[in-house]
């Protein structure tokens, strides 16, 4: 068949470029350890920053909800797919984020690809950071809005583009969208400057707090708390699948925003809802993050500093990392794969990050630190990387 030949040609091209990926099956996981084909590895790829995915209170809450509501929800939220745990979770998110309301999505990808088209359109212009997540990029593509890409974390360039957009009479709406913590670089968006610009130019600001919530901010509430920003007009998207150790995503904002998204966000409207047990587990995770996670976060940041300082002392380029996401820039794809394979042989799981996830020539190792890592875990990876320098 002709399409089979086409598939084969595409796969061969990916392999030639060192971009062919394969799935790695995890047999089991606990803390910083994972089992692959019966062998134990130290995991430096997980976004389970606070090690909550196996927290006994979350598991107990999920199990109780599972017995009460069953597993699948059966329909989309606008049909028969809205259960009490969904409503309670949305109320809990709004309280946690200090917003008027909130709405659950099934994944962060579904949230971004649904929110952005719903709040923009052909009469809008979107200003997007050059290193925003792929889900933001795809949401923009679906929006039919004009798009302007500003240089990574460059507020001056953003203002130049905003100012220039004033001359375009066809533009009725402006949206600025940025990750808070950039998932491949580990740096933080200058939200103070961006909020000021959004106010100055009458633009709506949307932040992707996926890698920020639970990690930064005095109480783990994410980007706005980290910068001490109080602005109810900011659209706050985030996930339950990282620091919360659960699954799903959300958007928090004004009641009007949530009403609009309920009626216009296609990824919300036309998806079977998140299982009720997932929603109950996520609500419990928020309680833990808000009231019981200070010591866990301290350990997370202690671990982050140990690995970051160790990598820097060895002369590795960690870019502008400020968070538990610590990249080690390698450059070419082949070399990044070689390092990943070397670490795998040494029972350290850290897959190489390659295009299109990162730009050409920017392949890297991405070390994701969690509170579960021990000093021995961190020292082991540093020791193996030291050997590569010798």
Indicate which residues carry an active-site annotation. Answer: 183, 211, 242
Q: Yes or no: say if 157 and 197 are a contact pair by the CB < 8 Å rule.
A: no
Tokens 């913590």 map to which residue? 181
Query: How many CA atoms within 13 Å lie on the side-chain side of 250?
Result: 33
Question: Quick one: which H or E segment has residue 40?
Answer: strand 39-43
Is residue 65 within 8 Å of residue 211, measured between CB atoms? no
- Residue 49 phi/psi, 5-degree rounding, is -55, -40
Half-sphere exposure for 204 (CA within 13 Å, toward CB): 19
Residue (of 200, 238, 233) closest to 217 by Cα position: 238
The token duo for 273 is 């809802």
Q: Do strands 124-129 and 173-179 pair parallel, antiparallel, or not at all (unpaired)?
A: parallel
* Contact in structure between 155 and 176 (CB atoms under 8 Å): no
Name the one residue in this structure whose structure tokens are 């794809």. Answer: 333
Residue 165 near residue 148 (C-beta atoms within 8 A): yes
**CA–CA dist 56, 60 (Å, integer):** 6
């Amino acid at each position: 068949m002709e399409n089979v030949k086409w598939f084969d040609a595409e796969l061969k091209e990916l392999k030639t470029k060192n971009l062919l990926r394969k799935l790695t099956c995890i047999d089991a996981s606990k803390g910083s350890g994972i089992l692959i084909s019966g062998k134990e590895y130290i995991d430096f790829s997980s976004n389970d920053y606070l090690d909550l995915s196996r927290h006994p209170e979350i598991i107990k809450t999920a199990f109780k909800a599972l017995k009460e509501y069953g597993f699948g929800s059966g329909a989309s939220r606008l049909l028969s797919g809205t259960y009490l745990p969904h409503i309670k979770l949305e109320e809990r998110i709004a309280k946690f984020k200090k917003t008027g309301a909130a709405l659950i999505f099934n994944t962060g990808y579904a949230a971004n690809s649904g929110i952005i088209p719903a709040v923009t359109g052909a009469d809008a212009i979107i200003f997007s950071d050059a290193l925003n997540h792929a889900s933001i990029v795809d949401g923009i593509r679906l929006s039919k809005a004009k798009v302007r890409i500003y240089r990574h974390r460059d507020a001056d360039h953003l203002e130049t583009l905003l100012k220039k957009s004033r001359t375009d009479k066809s533009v009725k709406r402006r949206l600025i969208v940025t990750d808070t913590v950039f998932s491949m670089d580990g740096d933080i968006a200058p939200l103070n400057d961006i909020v000021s610009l959004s106010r100055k130019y009458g633009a709506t600001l949307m932040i992707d707090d996926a890698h920020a919530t639970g990690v930064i901010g005095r109480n783990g509430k994410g980007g706005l708390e980290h910068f001490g920003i109080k602005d109810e007009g900011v659209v706050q998207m985030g996930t339950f699948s990282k620091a919360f150790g659960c699954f799903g995503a959300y958007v928090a904002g004004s009641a009007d925003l949530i009403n609009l998204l309920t009626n216009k966000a296609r990824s919300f409207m036309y998806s079977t809802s998140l299982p009720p047990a997932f929603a109950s587990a996520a609500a419990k995770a928020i309680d833990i993050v808000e009231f019981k996670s200070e010591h866990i976060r301290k350990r997370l940041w202690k671990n982050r500093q140990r690995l970051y300082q160790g990598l820097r002392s060895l002369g590795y380029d960690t870019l502008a990392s400020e968070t538990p996401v610590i990249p080690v820039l390698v450059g070419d794809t082949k070399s990044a794969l070689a390092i990943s394979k070397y670490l795998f042989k040494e029972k350290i799981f850290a897959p190489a990050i390659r295009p299109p996830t990162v730009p050409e020539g920017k392949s890297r190792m991405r070390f994701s630190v969690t509170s579960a890592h021990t000093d021995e875990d961190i020292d082991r990876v540093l020791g193996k990387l030291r050997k590569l320098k010798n």
